[in-house]
Amino acid sequence: MIFHAVFLLYLADVSEYDTIEKKQGGGFLKGQIRKALSGFYYVQSEGELYQTRARGNFRNRKITPLVGDEVVFESSNLTDGYLLEILPRKNELVRPAVANVDQGVIVTSMVEPNFSYNLLDRFLVTLEYTAIEPIIYLSKTDLIDDKEKIQEVINCYESIGYTVIASTEDERATKELERLFPNQLTVFMGQSGAGKSTLLNRIVPELDLETAAISESLGRGKHTTRHVELIPIADGLVADTPGFSSIDFLEIEARELSKQFPEFVEASTDCRFRECMHINEPQCAVKERVASGEIAQTRYDNYVQFLEEIEKRRPVYRKKK
C-alpha cells in the first residue's frame, strides 16, 4: 500500500493519466530488466518478456536504467511498454553496466594473456567496494608449464577467504562454478581474451556466444560481447559482458581503500593507530604481517600502487542538483 501511494504521487506529473481513478486502474507491472539494446529495455515480468522504452523524464532526472534493475512499467502488449520508475538498487557496476549483482566471477587467464596479480586485485577491490561476492576462476591452466604457479595463486587467495576455481579439461571446474549460480545474479568479468565467453559456452553450449582470438601484436583479445544480457543458467541469472583490461578507481577514496582488502581489515585491529593507512605509521600490524609472510607481498605492493593512483587522480567535481 505504501509503495502504491508513493508511486501515485510520482505519476501525478505524467500527462497520459487524466485522473487518479485511471491511474489506479492502469495495471502497473513490476519486473526486472534482462537486456538493454538500442534504446530498448527488455523486462521480464510474470513469465513474459516486455519490450519497453524509458520515459522522457528519465533523461531530465539523469536516470539511466541498467540491466538487473527492478522496475515498474506499464504496457498494453509485449512490444510497446514504458518504464515508469527504477526501484532502489543495492549496488551497480559501471563496467559492465549491471545493477543488483550478487556475485562476480573474475575470469583470470594464466597465459595468453599472462596472469597478473595487479589486474586481479583491481577487480577484487572493485567488487569488494560494491559489496559483490568475488569468485576467482583461473582459465587456461592447461597451457601453463609451471603448475606450481597455479597452486601459488590458489594458496594466496584462498588464504584470504576467496573462492578460487582452477579450470580443468573435463567438466569438474565448470560444474563447481555452476553450483554457485542458483538464486544469484552473477557477472562475469576479467581481462579481454581471458575466456569468459568460452567458459559460458562450455556451461551452456546452446548459447553459442561469439569468441575472439588473441591479437598476437597486442597480447590481448578484442571485445566480442556488444551488449549486456542476463541469461538464465542453473536456476540463476548470468551476465556475459564486455571484457576490459584496466580499471580506474574513480569512486574509492584513499581512506576507504584498505577496507577493500579483507586481510588488511583483519590485521588492522592490532595497528597502533585506528585510522592507520599502513604506509609510514609505526607499529602497523599490516606491515608486520607482510614482513612475516602472513600477508602476500604482492597484495601489499598493489595496495600501495592503488593508493598512489587514488591520491594523484584529479578531483571529480559534481554539479549540485
Taken in order of first residue, the domains within the chain and their CATH numbers are 6-86 (2.40.50.140), 92-240 (3.40.50.300), 254-312 (1.10.40.50)
* Residue 35 annotated as binding site: no
- The per-residue pLDDT for range 81-99, each reduced to its tens digit, is 999 999 999 999 877 789 9
* Residue 109 annotated as binding site: no
Three cell numbers, residue 74: 506499464
From first CA to last CA, the distance across the chain in angstroms is: 30
More reliable by pLDDT, 2 or 186: 186
- The per-residue pLDDT for range 158-209, each reduced to its tens digit, is 999 999 999 998 889 999 999 999 999 999 888 878 888 788 888 877 666 5
* Residue 192 annotated as binding site: yes
* Residue 156 annotated as binding site: no
Q: What is the 3-state secondary structure (H, E, C) of 172-226?
A: HHHHHHHCCCCCCEEEEECCCCCCHHHHHHHHCHHHCCCCCCEECCCCEECCCCC
Where does the pLDDT of residue 272 fall: very low under 50, low under 70, confident under 90, or very high at 90 and above? very high
* Residue 141 annotated as binding site: yes
* Residue 194 annotated as binding site: yes
* Residue 227 annotated as binding site: no
Q: Is the peptide bond before 134 cis (omega within 30 degrees of 0)?
A: no
250 close to 316: Cβ distance less than 8 angstroms? yes
Where does the pLDDT of residue 129 fall: very low under 50, low under 70, confident under 90, or very high at 90 and above? very high
Three cell numbers, residue 5: 501511494
Distant-in-sequence, close-in-space partners of 5: CB < 8 Å, separation ≥ 6: none
* Residue 174 annotated as binding site: no
* Residue 193 annotated as binding site: yes
* Residue 246 annotated as binding site: no
* Residue 276 annotated as binding site: yes
